[in-house]
Structure 1
Amino acid sequence: MLRLSLRTRRSLLPYLFLGPGLLWLIVFYAIPLVNQLGVSLMTGNPEQGYTLQWHWATYSDAISDYSTQFGRSILYAGIATVLCVIIAFPLAYFMAYKAGRWKNFMLLLVILPFFTSYVLRTVSWQLILNDNGWVVARLQDVGLLSNDGRLLATTKAVIAGITYNFLPFMALPLYVSLEKIDRRLIEAATDLYASRTTAFRKVTLPLALPGIFAGSLLTFIPACGDFINAALLGTPKQYMIGNVIQSKFLNILDYPTAAALSFILMTGILIGILLYARVLGTKSLREAV
């Protein structure tokens, strides 16, 4: 029987803990990823089947044919991310500094939407933004919306749905980042005759940047690939690249183009993450999350 030394066993222990997670990633991520790469290089049709022909032109065709949807996805996700920062920062700031004994209750309210189906939450926005609903009526009363105007099936509705659904992904990292700030730093700034506004701008905001960047990633990345909000709250004019991929996979059965679009989207997201890691540093990202 092979007996390992204590030093060898200690050196192998991290790999033993890493093994199950690594196996999971290989089986359910790496292998399907390689499989889809092969699918993206196939040619054929649903009736006769697809064969691997290393057809790299699928990628260039996908970019040229669906550049509008790619641009729309980036635009919608970018606007939603900015709105999430604007909404989540005051919320996270209040929870971190002012909520007191209500802090845990407010955190529960932030994560409470996760207890409901994503699709159900989006469908509820159809009722909120309905042409005969309370929101449209009030906006028409104050003149922000014409009498025949509508919110549902518009770009505004899609962006509002994305913002609502991904708001907790921004609020939670921001709260963690603000909660970790040493209050004595802010007190020191005010003791040195800095106003509350200056202390916030010079101390609080820079120290909260890791949370802002982490929340932006957690919001922007899934928002780029989202298709539920555009399908339920918009029209084909608002369709994002996720809607195209879904249609190619499930309806048209054009698997090579769908796989190529997925890889193009994933590559763009990975490039964004690498740029982020280079500018901010992976340590700050890990601490913020």
Structure 2
Amino acid sequence: MKLLSERVPAPPVRSIGSLKAFIQRLQMAHGRKLVIALPYLWLVLLFMLPFLIVFRISLSELALAVPPYTDLISWADGKLDIALNFANYLLLTEDPLYIDAYLKSLQIAAVSTLCCLVIGYPLAWAVAHSKSSTRNILLLLVILPSWTSFLIRVYAWMGILSNNGVLNNVLMWLGVIDHPLVILRTDLAVYIGIVYSYLPFMVLPIYTALTRLDYSLVEAALDLGAKPIKTFFSVIVPLTRGGIIAGSMLVFIPAVGEFVIPELLGGPDSIMIGRVLWQEFFNNRDWPVASAVATVMLLLLIIPIIWFHKHQNKEMGGQG
């Protein structure tokens, strides 16, 4: 039997304190990089990976299987086969349905964004120049509709715009019209629904820009003899351009792919790309074509995003 002094000592166990010290050293050495890496990791997990999955499906072929598309890569008899199908993208250029849907979506989104800007800028101005005691209440009124279910709000507009709805009944009671106006199931109803739903996303960025505005420049322009209208377009609008562009992006980008509003408020002519996606995915069960439609839509939306970032970089460079 070995003596106690001859026994092999157990390996030292790393204490919890040394692990904490290692983490602290890591944070001190790479803390900035770790903080910057977190948003990129979030984008990779929630944007890039889903986009790559959709892009992979768009290059496959329709198949009677679950899921209803073929694999791009197959291994058989010791051979690796890669089959890329670009016919889905070719179909988008040949079938006028998809081209019309893209153009219609861009048109409705652009007009709705312009309407939100025309309505939202005065609202943001009124909120920014209101008394401090009522400013929070006005902001709450702007945000309050967003707390309600989006679907319920769209259904409410169906009741307002229908032939027997509130709007037609009020106009007929006032004697403005003799017959009900046909608004529901038209493009006008789609415009109304989109403007109502996305108006807060235009108001809030412009309000933020107005609260940061240096009003001494406005006073200087007025003192030098500039008229209020010229001061507004020459001084105020350029200084709040960042809020205008940010609000426009927040309205335009989701409006392009909108599905619920054109489906419930629009008619057969209100064929937006969101409705086409739904029909291809769930009605036709053609996932490859639907994925190609979604991929092209995402690529189109990247263009205004890149332009927005370039504008922001120019503004930051000019301020620096």
CA distance in 2, matches of 1:185, 1:168: 28
Cα deviation for residue 58 of structure 1 reads 0.9
Unaligned 5+ runs, structure 2: 1-17, 73-82
Aligned to 1:198: 230
Unaligned 5+ runs, structure 1: none
More helix per residue: 1
Cα deviation for residue 244 of structure 1 reads 0.7
Cα deviation for residue 276 of structure 1 reads 3.5
Cα deviation for residue 6 of structure 1 reads 8.7
Cα deviation for residue 191 of structure 1 reads 1.8
Contact 2:62–2:287 at 8 Å: present in 1 too?
A: no
Q: How does 1:204-219 map to 2 (within 5 A)?
A: 204-219=236-251
Q: How does 1:88-107 map to 2 (within 5 A)?
A: 88-107=120-139
Deviations 1:70-92 (A, max 9, x none): 11100111110010001000000
Query: What secondary structure does 1:44 align onto?
Result: coil
Cα deviation for residue 21 of structure 1 reads 3.8
Aligned to 1:61: 91
Aligned length: 284
Q: Give the aligned CA root-mean-square deviation in angstroms.
A: 2.6
CA distance in 2, matches of 1:228, 1:54: 33
Contact 1:40–1:256 at 8 Å: present in 2 too?
A: yes
| 1:29 partnered with 2:28 | no
Identity %: 35
1:277–1:16: structure 2 CA closer, same or farther, 3 Å change rule?
A: closer
TM-score normalised by structure 2 residue count: 0.81
| 1:135 partnered with 2:167 | yes
Aligned to 2:312: 281
TM-score normalised by structure 1 residue count: 0.89
Letter in 2 for 1:180: R
> Which of the numbers 26, 31, 39 marks the counterpart of 2:57?
39
Q: How does 1:1-289 map to 2 (within 5 A)?
A: 9-47=27-65, 49-51=68-70, 52=72, 53-65=83-95, 66-139=98-171, 147=179, 149-278=181-310, 280-282=311-313, 284=315
CA distance in 2, matches of 1:150, 1:196: 40
